[in-house]
Amino acid sequence: MSLDENFHHAAKQANIALGLAITAAASLEIDTTPMEGFDAAALDQFLNLHAKGLRSSMLLAVGYRDTENDWNLKNEKVCKPTEEFITFL
């Protein structure tokens, strides 16, 4: 594979690990937020990832929410019926 193909494949594999990290954190009642849409080239340069043969593909913020200032915490949660968000084949 080319370097770009290899990176694309590795980034997909990182998504699997990201999902597991989110689940593990949730089981410990630790909040996480996966993030894309960042300037990967700038982050790679800042962290000197190219010197280590690495590139960034996503970020995962990990921590505890600020319960005193989280305006969204008290909002009612909405659960939709399974049929509205799953397509059965």
pTM: 0.69
Assess if residue 9 is contained within a domain.
Answer: yes
Assess if residue 21 is contained within a domain.
Answer: yes
Angle at the Cα of 33 from the Cα atoms of 3 and 18, rounded to 5 degrees: 40
- Per the structure, the complete domain to which residue 8 belongs is given by 3-66
DSSP states along 39-67: -HHHHHHHTT-GGGT-----EEEEE---T
The total number of structural domains that make up the chain: 1
Assess if residue 37 is contained within a domain.
Answer: yes
pLDDT tens-place string over residues 5-41:
988 898 899 999 999 999 999 999 999 999 989 999 9
Within 28-79, residue ranges assigned H as helices are 40-46
Assess if residue 44 is contained within a domain.
Answer: yes
Q: Which amino acid is at 75?
A: N
